[in-house]
Amino acid sequence: MKRKITVATFVVGLSILLLIAPSAMAKSLVLNTALTYPSSLPILGETITYFSSKVKEVSDGQLIFKLFEPGKLVPAMEILEAVSKGRIQAGYSNPGFSAGKLPAGPLFSSIPFGPEAPEFLAWMYHGNGMKLYQEMYDRAGYKVKVFIVNMVPPETAGWFANEIKSIDDLKGLKIRFFGLGGQVMQKLGAAVALTSAGEIFPALEKGALDATEFSMPLVDTRLGFSKICKYNYFPGWHQQATANEIIINKEVWEKKLTKSQRAIIETCAMATVVNMLALGEASQAKVMKENAEKHGVKNMYFSPQLISTFHKAWEEVVAEQAAKDPFFKKVYEDLQNFRKEYAYWAGYAFLPRESGAKPPQK
């Protein structure tokens, strides 16, 4: 009788445990995730740590993006290939780094003289942006599912050792510059390199670079640019808004993730976009003021003549790219059509901007 009671008690206890704690007994799905940006970087690194923590929290620990710093799993510039082939399950990167193989890639990240963040997100989420983004990878044979996971506000136009008074000051200048904006700078005579985050400061110290752009003042100052380059130029004509991506191996997405887990990833990605955009907007003014007051940095604004020259060169670059790559042309035309429609709304909706408004020079 005692034995029967013991067995019955065990069965009842096990049944209760299975009912009240299924998540504790389920096995977590871990996605090894390679990073392009160090997780320690403000905003750019915070993006992926915030996203992964939210996914873990919302999934009650059943879905984990395990983060690996740049180069620990695969070289940063090989993340797309590695995720597509299933060597790793996921990656945090930027489509602009694949421009050599995917010319349209930069259009899903940052566009010179392109839309600001609200308009960019409108095209991505409620225009054809995300559809075309996925199509780009599918057409090229990459087996990945893509989401944007952040959208950051305008970047600086660059850090320079000397004042830029005319286009002649850019000729022969060795500068780190990203994406389509880099092609504009090349057209204007600069010697452009796409140097990774951790290599920029040493290159500036050694004279391998004369100048650089990378991100927002908060990020750039953390990387030490203000110690060497005392002229920080605005506006960020080349990156008025910038998106980064989370990519997941297609087989993992379709066969290993449940419908609920896929929804968690999509929702957390959108939540991360909103949070990082807000954080980016909230964080720059204080850093700019400190750079000027404590570090002798001059926050500069390009002259209308220089901005006009950049814009003219950009129009040449985009025409050349569209002529060379049909998919680039397809994406850019779709974006331009969206922007024409959006402009009707924007023309009525927003207050006029003060012409030439800029902070006082120190």
pLDDT tens-digit map of 71-91:
999 999 999 999 999 999 999
The reply to whether the predicted model has a pTM over 0.75 is: yes
What's the whole-number average pLDDT of the chain? 92
Q: How far apart are the first and last CA of the chain?
A: 90
pLDDT tens-digit map of 8-20:
444 444 344 344 4
Sign of CA dihedral 76, 335, 132, 129: positive
Q: Dihedrals φ, ψ of 91, to 5°?
A: -155, 150
Nearest by Cα to 198 from 39, 33, 32: 39
Distance of alpha carbon 119 from alpha carbon 154, whole angstroms: 13
Question: Per residue of the chain (362 residues), what is the pLDDT tens digit?
Answer: 444 445 444 444 434 434 444 444 468 999 999 999 999 999 999 999 999 999 999 999 999 999 999 999 999 999 999 999 999 999 999 999 999 999 999 999 999 999 999 999 999 999 999 999 999 999 999 999 999 999 999 999 999 999 999 999 999 999 999 999 999 999 999 999 989 888 999 999 999 999 999 999 999 999 999 999 999 999 999 999 999 999 999 999 999 999 999 999 999 999 999 999 999 999 999 999 999 999 999 999 999 999 999 999 999 999 999 999 999 999 999 999 999 999 999 999 999 876 555 555 54
Distance of alpha carbon 233 from alpha carbon 272, whole angstroms: 28
Residue 178 CA: distances (Å) to CA of 141, 192, 247, 319, 321: 25, 9, 20, 19, 16
Q: Which domains does the chain have, with CATH numbers?
A: 27-154+241-281 (3.40.190.170), 158-237+298-341 (3.40.190.10)
